[in-house]
Chain A
Amino acid sequence: MSVIIDTGCANLTSLKFALERLTRNVLISSDPETINSAARVFLPGVGSAQYAMGVLEERGLIPVIQNLIQPVLGICLGMQMLTSSSSEGDIACLDLVPGEVKGLQTQDLRLPHMGWNTLAECTDHPLLHRISSDMYFYFVHSYGVGVTDTSIAQCEYGSRFSAAIAHQNFMGVQFHPERSSAAGSQLLKNFLELQI
């Protein structure tokens, strides 16, 4: 069973449908027991970090997520929340993957970074099986995680930032795999199949 944590954000349905094209038993839930019993956990999010962290806190989900031992995939804001802190509202995050969220340094490029972009420095992490840096993924964000040792793929938009991060069982992608056509579907399939 795969569980999408109900973060109160609006884009849960498209992730659910994308997963249902690949696997059975996909639930959206904020119930700790259901989340704990999942083989795969998804932490989605759009909107502001402050709002989304507030929802997790209100629903008592912060320690639940922090204690998960199965593979967890944060998506977009969900990935950002896996890090230690966000300058968007200056808040503490889940502190599961080393790194900090800061406003994108885009030089004179427009924000939000919205649309299809390629990857850079794509590693051979199992999450990126059959994914190469010339593939396009759909990004929508104005904040990002800088490049650190936990970056497994980068993206360039004015400057480099993490397109994907991984630390132990916690992984995150800045783009939206559920809206990234065949490349995104491959990434979700990798996540469903990977062994850690």
Chain B
Amino acid sequence: MLARRIIPCLDVRDGKVVKGVRFRDHEVVGDIVPLAEFYSQMGADELVFYDITASSDGRSVDRSWIERVARVIDIPFCVAGGISTLDLAAEVLEMGADKISINSPALNDPSLICDMNERFGQQCVVVGIDSYQNETSGEYQVYQYTGDVERTQLTPWKTFDWIHEVQQLGAGEIVLNCMNQDGVRQGYDTIQLTQARLSCDIPLIASGGAGTREHFKEVFEKSDVDGALAASVFHMRVLDIQELKKYLSESGVEVRK
């Protein structure tokens, strides 16, 4: 049976892994390569690296570490951050990444999704979506440039419309980051994710809010997501991936042992 994936997310800034709360106040949690190796050995199913400042700085991700990561780990990994052209995507894939995640660049130029699909195949094209629930209207809205609080801006897209659109354009996977929950460890937004699941026929990855092992069980059971992404619970050693997987397996969630 296809296993549900546990995906540590490493936010990269200036060559270090950092973690902030609700996308701000970043603190350094460690070096990229040793952390990648550690998570890989602990049983992570996949890793995602986000250069959180890349798009909002108007520069691209510093890519020298991608090849060093590819040398040491033997699980798939995805790179995100300011990859706004086909040539940049090709370069990142050639360095050993398995997937490219695009977020702000896809919002600026949605045709990038179909171009990447045609050139590299659907499996390489992950679309990251930063979704924030408007507290007055209750509407889910897409934001971009969330790596820098000064530049974060609302886009015209409603979250579920954008989920539909990116699938039409040829995305292979969607990471839905529920910003209201990010970094606060109060649980995934299963209401939003369940609704997203209904309109998402490709793999869907939950992001934002993991704090306990029960949160993982809940999001797999309630929202039927293919994977759950988390950062601070792993970086702060609140949860151990092996123990988390043991718990999920005993709770009846299919995971890779």
Binding site for B on A (CB under 8 A): 10-14, 17-18, 20-21, 46-48, 109-118, 136, 138, 140-142, 156-157, 176, 178-182, 184-185
B184 lies within 8 A of chain A by Cβ: no
**Complex: A9 Cα to B147 Cα, angstroms:** 31
CB contacts (< 8 Å) of A179 on chain B: these are 74-76, 98
**Complex: A17 Cα to B76 Cα, angstroms:** 13
CB contacts (< 8 Å) of A141 on chain B: these are 123
B105 lies within 8 A of chain A by Cβ: no
The reply to whether B203 and A112 contact each other, CB–CB distance below 8 Å, is yes
Q: Which of A17, A48, A118, A180 contacts B121, CB < 8 Å?
A: A48
CB contacts (< 8 Å) of A118 on chain B: these are 1
Q: How far is the CB of B135 from chain A (nearest CB, A)?
A: 32
Q: A11-B98, A181-B75 are in contact. Are A112 and B123 (CB under 8 A)?
A: yes
The reply to whether B93 and A117 contact each other, CB–CB distance below 8 Å, is no
CB contacts (< 8 Å) of A17 on chain B: these are 70-71, 96
**Complex: A110 Cα to B123 Cα, angstroms:** 13
The reply to whether A47 and B120 contact each other, CB–CB distance below 8 Å, is yes
Q: Which residue of B lies closest to A184 (CB)?
A: B74
The reply to whether B74 and A181 contact each other, CB–CB distance below 8 Å, is yes
**Complex: A46 Cα to B172 Cα, angstroms:** 13
Cβ contacts B100-143/A at 8 Å (1 or 0 each): 00000000000000000001111110000000000000000000
- Specify which of B1, B121, B202 lies most central, judged by the most chain A CB atoms within 10 Å of its CB: B121
A-B contact pairs, 15 of them (CB 8 A): A10-B90, A10-B94, A10-B120, A13-B70, A21-B74, A46-B123, A46-B124, A47-B119, A47-B121, A110-B226, A112-B202, A115-B227, A179-B75, A182-B74, A184-B74
The reply to whether A138 and B75 contact each other, CB–CB distance below 8 Å, is yes
B182 lies within 8 A of chain A by Cβ: no
Q: Which residue of A lies closest to B45 (CB)?
A: A116
CB contacts (< 8 Å) of A180 on chain B: these are 74-75
Q: Which residue of A lies closest to B44 (CB)?
A: A181
Q: Which of A13, A112, A138 contacts B122, CB < 8 Å?
A: A112
Q: How many A-B residue pairs have C-beta atoms within 8 angstroms? Tell me.
A: 89
Instruction: Report, nearest first, the 6 A-B pairs whose CB atoms are least far apart.
Output: A10-B93, A47-B121, A13-B96, A136-B256, A140-B123, A116-B3
Q: Which residue of B lies closest to A156 (CB)?
A: B1
The reply to whether A142 and B120 contact each other, CB–CB distance below 8 Å, is no
Q: Which residue of A lies closest to B121 (CB)?
A: A47
The reply to whether A114 and B93 contact each other, CB–CB distance below 8 Å, is no
Q: Which residue of B lies closest to A185 (CB)?
A: B74
B217 lies within 8 A of chain A by Cβ: no
B214 lies within 8 A of chain A by Cβ: no
The reply to whether B121 and A46 contact each other, CB–CB distance below 8 Å, is yes
The reply to whether B2 and A157 contact each other, CB–CB distance below 8 Å, is yes
The reply to whether A10 and B122 contact each other, CB–CB distance below 8 Å, is no
Q: How far is the CB of B224 from chain A (nearest CB, A)?
A: 10
**Complex: A10 Cα to B122 Cα, angstroms:** 13
Q: How far is the CB of A182 from chain B (nearest CB, A)?
A: 8
Q: How far is the CB of B4 from chain A (nearest CB, A)?
A: 8
**Complex: A24 Cα to B40 Cα, angstroms:** 23
CB contacts (< 8 Å) of B202 on chain A: these are 110-112
CB contacts (< 8 Å) of A21 on chain B: these are 74
- Specify which of A46, A109, A114, A179 lies most central, judged by the most chain B CB atoms within 10 Å of its CB: A114
Q: A17-B70, A46-B120, A142-B122 are in contact. Are A115 and B226 (CB under 8 A)?
A: yes
Q: Which residue of B lies closest to A14 (CB)?
A: B96
The reply to whether B75 and A115 contact each other, CB–CB distance below 8 Å, is no
Q: How far is the CB of B163 from chain A (nearest CB, A)?
A: 14
B240 lies within 8 A of chain A by Cβ: no
The reply to whether A116 and B123 contact each other, CB–CB distance below 8 Å, is no
Q: Which of B5, B67, B94, B98 contacts A115, CB < 8 Å?
A: B5
B165 lies within 8 A of chain A by Cβ: no
The reply to whether B1 and A117 contact each other, CB–CB distance below 8 Å, is yes
